[in-house]
A = this chain, B = another copy of it.
Amino acid sequence: MKYRLAFIGFGVVGQGLAEIMVESRDELKQKYGFDFDVVAVSDKVKGSVYDPNGLDLEKLLDLVRKTGEITGYEEAPHRDWDSLKTITDTNANVIIEVSWTDLKTGEPALTHVRTAIEHGKHVVLTNKGPIALAVRELEELARQRDVKIRYEGTVLSGTPALNLGLKNLAGAKITRIQGIVNGTTNFILTKMENGFSYEEALKKAQELGYAEADPTGDVEGWDAVGKIVILTNVLMGGSITNDDVEREGITHLTLKDIEEAKQEGKRWKLIANTEILPDGSVKASVKPVKIPLSHPLASVSGPINALTFTTKYLGDVTIIGPGAGKLPTGYALLTDLLDIHRELSSKEI
């Protein structure tokens, strides 16, 4: 099957996917029967191009590398379509939503996703905003319009997390999910284990690009809150919002706390947790927890992420992998595209 793809946004993640797709085009076709044209790219800063017959993806990547924008792609018949017109008026049948993240409003991504679904187009995204805020509405809308929406990369980037719970662990009865879902804070805590103060560790994280100039979203736990809301609503049958999550950041942890935990054979981790309580309700939290060294989550260090699923029939199953990065997050979108393809093509047979 040949898909016509449109990128809404062409920043780091979009380019990551584009690089993988250029490299893997032949293998994707031969091994999975997945063939594609990229027909449009629309980025608020880098410009927009649309060619119903398909664009040269390598050329686009090259232009961005050299000029920082894609407006130099002069052969494209349409070069001024904004994101919404690109979604509604191009011949794309799959929208790759990779604009910026706003955890409070979900915009503009939320409108992009809604519009795409309403126009009968499949959507893949790694943007936590729309999924944390409106996953049930969007899933229901997609069901009504008979299109697919996939968002594996919203938690743990390309490391299997949502599909692991939804498919691989289907029927295992998940009662709890806990883990390390923010690489920045885990990097800082790992540095503190090695003797850095919180401030020094944060500075190192900023130098390496793991933390932003204003690190509040990471160190106060907001990023992790968005992810545990998604895990709760997608995998635990919950229907919660950010406000329902008990939240505590890592800014108050001192080297003394770290040292004390060490003495107890434990290690501080910022743990996102969601569990089904005895009364059947679901409770979610994000807070620093002292984990025994024998627990698989204790040995997860640096910017790596991990989740432990507690299940009735399998006991604990833990997955460990990258939680961010250009290629891992770009790959998350590919995993979503292949999942959609798998479902659509088994229909065809």
Q: Give A contacts to B, CB under 8 Å.
A: 20, 24, 27-28, 31-32, 158-160, 163-164, 167-173, 293-294, 296, 298-301, 313-322, 327-328, 330-331, 334-335, 338-339, 342-343, 346-347, 349
Residue ID in chain B nearest A301 by CB atoms: B294
Contacts of A300 in B (CB 8 A): 296
CB within 8 Å for A171 and B331 given contacts A318-B321, A347-B346: yes
Q: Could you jot down 9 A-B contacts, CB within 8 Å?
A: A160-B317, A163-B167, A167-B339, A171-B334, A296-B320, A298-B299, A315-B321, A315-B322, A318-B320
Partner of A28, one of B171, B342, B343: B171
Contacts of A316 in B (CB 8 A): 320-321
Complex copy number for this chain: 2
Min distance, Cβ A13 to any Cβ of chain B, angstroms: 13
Cα distance, A116 to B339, chains bound together (Å): 29
Cα distance, A72 to B320, chains bound together (Å): 48
Min distance, Cβ A174 to any Cβ of chain B, angstroms: 12
Cα distance, A258 to B267, chains bound together (Å): 25
**Contact: A164 with B160, CB < 8 Å?**
yes
New A-B contacts (6) at CB < 8 Å, excluding given A296-B300, A343-B346: A20-B171, A20-B313, A168-B168, A172-B331, A296-B320, A315-B328
CB within 8 Å for A168 and B164 given contacts A318-B321, A319-B318: yes
